[in-house]
């Protein structure tokens, strides 16, 4: 007999709707039934968990994380890649994963270890085995970048010694296809490509991989059943990626309406990463949260997001957490509502839409019978006030309870 748990929240929010007087019956790792207490049959054998005053939601998802990074105002990105060992970074990532789960994020798509090899594949395994606590992970291993188009930038260091790079370099169709296959061989669930980077003569962002290279990488990834995510800030790189048939474009700060329309037509989803733009502005532009005017890069991110909204592109929730502290993923939803989404839209992005983007929408992202019991309860109603997501009281993943705060009052 599987263990049965009955959750009795103040209300349930799922798939854009609020349900009062509904309970959730969890059996083993899945949701067995959802509905009015009477509809659930005999529940006398269940452990009952009351969550009065709370809204029960599907576990939240962040589709752009870096568990192997920590904030740049603690240690610069270069120093993390060059001076921190993989063991040290993995120890940190374990703590980061637990902090993330405890704040209600039960699924992450982690888009590159940034110089920590395939430690993400092992972390995922340790989480799945129940050795350490963390969200469900979809991992990318090493990102793939055009030769010389990433960091640490060689021009900033002595040239008579070699040093590690934050991603795997490739040039030409043959190399990029090989790179994709190497990533898959090591356990990548997703292929992460950098479509552009700060490689211009004055450090401006320019497209890196050619159309031909991107097409070949996507074909190789799809042959192996792996979807593709592309970092792209410029129109050129976004358009090349969309034409190549990738699944998601990350950042998209420079995207015009025309480019987002091309993404919509090609069925490419958008992850706006608004919070990282704020964080980098704090570290490098003297931006003070809730005080300063938006910096140039924040305004650019905002324009991109509003263009995407207007063009009705599929917009998921992806924050680029890592450069800002793990466990603060919810800041992305707050930003999405500041820039034009309703709280319910932002919640949908972080649950049902994210599940669809990662093709897990038959098991994740909704409170439905048969789905994984990934559930979070927060005090109050986040579909009215998104900041209520900060008041997490209860977290369940695969039917196991990871957080259970005492009832309020």
Among positions 98, 120, 320, 374, the unique one binding Zn ion when judged by CB under 5 A? 320
Q: Which residue is at the shortest CB distance from Zn ion?
A: 320
Tell me the closest approach of the beta carbon of residue 9 to Zn ion, in angstroms: 34
Interface pattern 251-280 for Zn ion (x via CB under 5 A): ------------------------------
Tell me the closest approach of the beta carbon of residue 265 to Zn ion, in angstroms: 25
Task: With CB under 5 A as the rule, give the number of residues binding Zn ion.
Answer: 1
Tell me the closest approach of the beta carbon of residue 322 to Zn ion, in angstroms: 7
Closer residue to Zn ion in complex, CB, 13/68: 68
Closer residue to Zn ion in complex, CB, 320/332: 320
**Near Zn ion by CB under 5 A, which window of 42-50, 189-197, 213-221, 314-322?**
314-322
Closer residue to Zn ion in complex, CB, 65/345: 65
**Near Zn ion by CB under 5 A, which window of 13-21, 95-103, 263-271, 317-325?**
317-325
Tell me the closest approach of the beta carbon of residue 97 to Zn ion, in angstroms: 16
**Near Zn ion by CB under 5 A, which window of 49-57, 161-169, 287-295, 315-323?**
315-323
Gap between the Cα atoms of 166 and 70, Å rounded? 14
Around Cβ 157, how many Cβ atoms within 10 Å? 13
**Near Zn ion by CB under 5 A, which window of 71-79, 221-229, 313-321, 345-353?**
313-321
Tell me the closest approach of the beta carbon of residue 320 to Zn ion, in angstroms: 4
Q: Taking CA 70 as the corner, what is the angle to CA 68 and CA 327, rounded to the nearest 5 degrees?
A: 90
Closer residue to Zn ion in complex, CB, 84/320: 320
Q: Where does this chain bind Zn ion (CB under 5 A)?
A: 320
């Amino acid at each position: 007999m599987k263990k049965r748990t009955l959750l009795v929240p103040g209300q349930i929010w799922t798939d854009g709707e609020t349900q009062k007087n509904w309970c959730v019956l969890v059996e083993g790792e899945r949701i067995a039934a959802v509905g009015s207490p009477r509809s659930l049959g005999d529940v006398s054998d269940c452990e009952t968990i009351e969550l009065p005053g709370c809204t029960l939601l599907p576990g939240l998802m962040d589709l752009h994380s870096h568990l192997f990074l920590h904030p740049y105002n603690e240690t610069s990105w270069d120093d993390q890649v060059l001076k921190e060992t993989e063991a040290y970074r993995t120890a940190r990532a374990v703590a980061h994963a637990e902090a993330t789960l405890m704040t209600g994020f039960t699924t992450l798509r982690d888009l590159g270890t940034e110089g920590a090899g395939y430690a993400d594949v092992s972390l995922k395994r340790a989480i799945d085995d129940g050795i350490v606590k963390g969200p469900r992970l979809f991992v990318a291993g090493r990102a793939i970048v055009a030769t010389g188009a990433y960091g640490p930038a060689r021009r900033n260091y002595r040239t008579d010694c070699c040093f590690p790079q934050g991603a795997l370099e490739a040039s030409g169709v043959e190399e990029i296809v090989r790179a994709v296959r190497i990533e898959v061989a090591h356990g990548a669930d997703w292929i992460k490509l950098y479509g552009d980077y700060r490689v211009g003569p004055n450090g401006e962002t320019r497209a890196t991989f050619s159309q031909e290279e991107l097409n070949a990488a996507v074909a190789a990834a799809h042959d192996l059943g792996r979807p593709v995510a592309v970092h792209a800030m410029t129109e050129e790189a976004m358009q090349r990626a969309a034409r190549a048939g990738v699944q998601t474009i990350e950042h998209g700060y420079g995207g015009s309406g025309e480019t987002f329309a091309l993404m919509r037509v090609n069925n490419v989803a958008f992850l706006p990463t608004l919070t990282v733009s704020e964080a980098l502005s704090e570290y490098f532009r003297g931006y003070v949260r809730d005080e300063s005017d938006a910096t140039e890069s924040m305004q650019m991110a905002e324009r991109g997001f509003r263009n995407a909204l207007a063009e009705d592109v599929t917009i998921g929730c992806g924050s680029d957490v890592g450069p800002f502290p793990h466990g603060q993923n919810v800041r992305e939803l707050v930003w999405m509502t500041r820039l034009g989404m309703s709280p319910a839209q932002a919640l949908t992005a972080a649950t049902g839409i994210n599940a669809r983007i990662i093709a897990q929408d038959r098991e994740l992202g909704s409170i439905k019978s048969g789905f994984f019991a990934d559930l979070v309860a927060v005090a109050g109603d986040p579909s009215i006030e998104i900041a209520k997501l900060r008041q997490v009281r209860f977290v369940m993943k695969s039917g196991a309870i990871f957080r259970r705060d005492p009832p309020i009052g």
